[in-house]
Structures are given as C-alpha cells and as structure tokens.
Amino acid sequence: MSERIPVAVIAATGSVGQRFVQLLDGHPWFEVVALTGSERRLGQTYGQTCRWVLDEPMPVWARDMPIVPSTPEAANAPLVFSALPSKYATEIEARFARAGVVVCTNAGAYRRDPTVPILLPEVNPDHLDLLPAQRTEHGWPGLIVTNPNCTSAGMTIALKALDQAFGVRRVLAVSMQALSGAGYPGVASLDILDNVIPYIGGEEEKVEWEPRKMLGTVREGRLELAEVRLSVHANRVAVRDGHTVCLSVECEQETGPEQAAAVLAAYQPPAAARGLPSTPDPVILLHPGEDRPQPRLDRLTGGGMTTVVGRLRRDPLFHLKMVVLSHNTIRGAAGGSIYNAELLQKQGWLIPH
C-alpha cells in the first residue's frame, strides 16, 4: 500500500472523537483528512475548539485542521469514523452511506438493524456476510458497520472463547464502568466522589442483547441471535478509563476453571482478524494475579486493545466466575472501530480510491 486511505472523523471533538484522532495518529493504512464538528465549532481549528482530555498531547497535525460540517461533501473521504451521539447518528450516518461512504461507527443507532453487523474482528468477522443484504435493504452504495457498546465488547470476546469450547448458556454480568464512558462533561464530580451510581440509562438493555447478536450465526446472509441469556447490572464508579465486569457463566457442557483457563489463554481470533494493525496482542490476557485485572493497572495492556481476564474460579451456582477488563474508549470504542475498518479493507469492502 503505497498511499494511505483518506479518512474523516465525524464528531471529532468529544471524548471518543479524541480517541479516534489519537489512535489514527501514525496509522499505517489511514490518514485523517477531515475532522467534523457541530455548527457552533465551524470556522475554528481543532486545537481551538476541542477541550482535549487525554493524557497524551493532541497530535500536532490535528491542531490546525479546521472543523468542517458532518456531511459527505465536507468530509470528502471514502471511509469515516463516527463518534456521533446516537440521536444524530441515525440520520447523519445514513447520509454518508447513501453517498457511498463506508461508515465505521461507535454510535448505537444501527446496532439493532438486522443487516448491520455489530463487529468484533476477534469474534465475528464472518458477520460481514450481512453487508450484501444491507446494500439491498437500504439501497446504500456505502456501508455502515458498528462496534458494540463499550461494556459488551470485552465480555463478548471472553464469552466467545468459552462459547466455542463449552457453549455458553447463561451469563450474569455486573459492570463497574469508567467515567469516560459517559462522555464529557458526563458525570458530575459531586455525584461520583466517594460514591457509586448503580444505574446507567439504557446500558443494561444493550448489554443483555448485543452479545447475543455478536455470538449469533449468519446463515445465507441472515443473522440468527445466539441462544445465550444474559442478566446485567450496570454501575458507574470513580475510574477514568476501563470497564471492569464480574461474570458468572453457565455452560452447555460441564467445565471448570482449569479447562476454561486453557481455552481463554489459547484463544486465537478467526484468521481474517489476525495480523491487522490493531489486532490485539494477545487477544485475551489471562492475568495470574489474585487481585487482577484492575482498571488502573491493566487497561493499557496491548495498547488498550487486549481483553484482560482474571480471577477465574468455580461458581457455586453456574460453572465459572471471572473478572473481565476492557478499555472502554479504546477496545470498546475508537480502537474497535478502527480495527473494524482494517478488517473491511483487508476483506475488500473499502471503495477503491
């Protein structure tokens, strides 16, 4: 590949938008040519209008890029990454797809659409087989591919490894989610200092459903949801980045911690997902520490793309108990979308440029 593919980041100023900008800095395949934002930011540069909240400084090339409108014409790229809020995503992302653009989105707007994959390359790259139906159904020359909700991402990767080996029947998941998952300004400091908020609007419904789609089967271009049933409790805690999920898992086949550990440690993604720039190394890290994973110490494993599993032990009710950690704005958002785009490119779904 002698030239990098031009890409745009849609809604680039928010916390997920910033992660896109950061992770695309120096990307070997993609080159950011446009950053879009809301009307009140037009006419300003990214450096002027963006309240950068990440630890590492804003990439130098981004500072002087002008904010352009969130339209296909202004973005002017065959591939866009969308960090739009869901309420705007429905309309704006369709407009891009209609204009022939490939949209890799973090928004939830199209996740329930049966022709739009919720894609985790480590889990279900074959769900790209839904795309012909998407084109037929919607009549878009472009495409929309979503990544899952940030909490669903890591736990579905762990569940995939177990499902493949033992069949996963029932899952009880309790999340302790990071503040960055709520965007910026998001959670008020007075609400979370010395506190836990045992509620995140809409989250439990998403996490009880999305893994069923991702673990489902595409047959003849149609998706069948997986049979697994999930119960989710979602909590917000005073952590900046990294969602921690306690899982109790019941399998079809009898299993125990030793067998499950072997399966998790040996997990390899489907061949299509290997060797891409964002392929996590390892995909799953089985952490040996008795008190791990912890968000502060483990969230950046594999550059924030690795799913870290620990405390694997027998569950007195189901088969297995464990803790799963995943970086919510990297693996669970921007990094996941970029990984999806890499898979699309490798599989030949990107419009030639």
Binding site for its own copies (CB under 8 A): 15, 52-53, 55-57, 170, 172, 174, 176, 179-180, 184-199, 208, 229-231, 233, 235, 237-240, 244, 246, 248, 290-297, 300-301, 310-311, 315-318, 321, 323
Out of 127, 138, 243, 319, which one is annotated catalytic? 243
Taking the complex as a whole, the smallest distance from the CB of residue 147 to its own copies amounts, in Å, to 22
Nearer CB in complex with its own copies: 94/197? 197
State the minimum distance, in angstroms, from the CB of residue 219 to its own copies. Answer: 25
**Please, what is the minimum distance in Å from the beta carbon of residue 172 to its own copies?**
5
Neighbour count for residue 117 (Cβ, 10 Å): 28
Name, in order, each residue with C-beta under 8 angstroms of 115's C-beta and a sequence gap of 6 or more: 130, 131, 133, 134, 137, 138
Of the residues 50, 104, 138, 150, which is catalytic?
A: 150
Output the six-digit token pair for 297.
């110490």
Closest to its own copies by CB, 202 or 221: 202
Closer residue to its own copies in complex, CB, 318/349: 318
Residues 6+ apart with CB under 8 A from 153: 120, 147, 307, 326, 328, 331, 332, 336
End-to-end CA, the chain: 12
Closer residue to its own copies in complex, CB, 72/302: 302
Q: Which is nearer to its own copies, 188 or 271 (CB)?
A: 188
Q: Which is nearer to its own copies, 296 or 353 (CB)?
A: 296
* Active site (annotated) includes residue 150: yes
Among 273, 335, 296, 292, which Cα is nearest to 106's? 335
DSSP state of 136: H
Q: How far is the CB of 50 from its own copies (least distance, A)?
A: 12
Q: At its nearest, how many Å lie between its own copies and the CB of residue 294?
A: 5
Alpha-carbon distances, residue 28 vs 48, 79, 269, 273, 342 (angstroms):
27, 15, 21, 16, 10
Residue 13 buriedness (CB in 10 A; 0-12 / 13-18 / 19+): buried
Tell me the closest approach of the beta carbon of residue 272 to its own copies, in angstroms: 28
Residue 331 · residue 304 · CB < 8 Å: yes
CB of 282 to its own copies, least distance (A): 12
Active site residue 104: no
CB 126 within 8 A of CB 343: no
Nearer to its own copies (CB atom), residue 48 or residue 136: 48
Amino acid at 323: V
Per-residue DSSP letters for 196-243?
Answer: -B---TTHHHHHHHHHHHHTSEEETTEEE----EEEEEEEE-S-SS-E
Catalytic residues: 150, 243
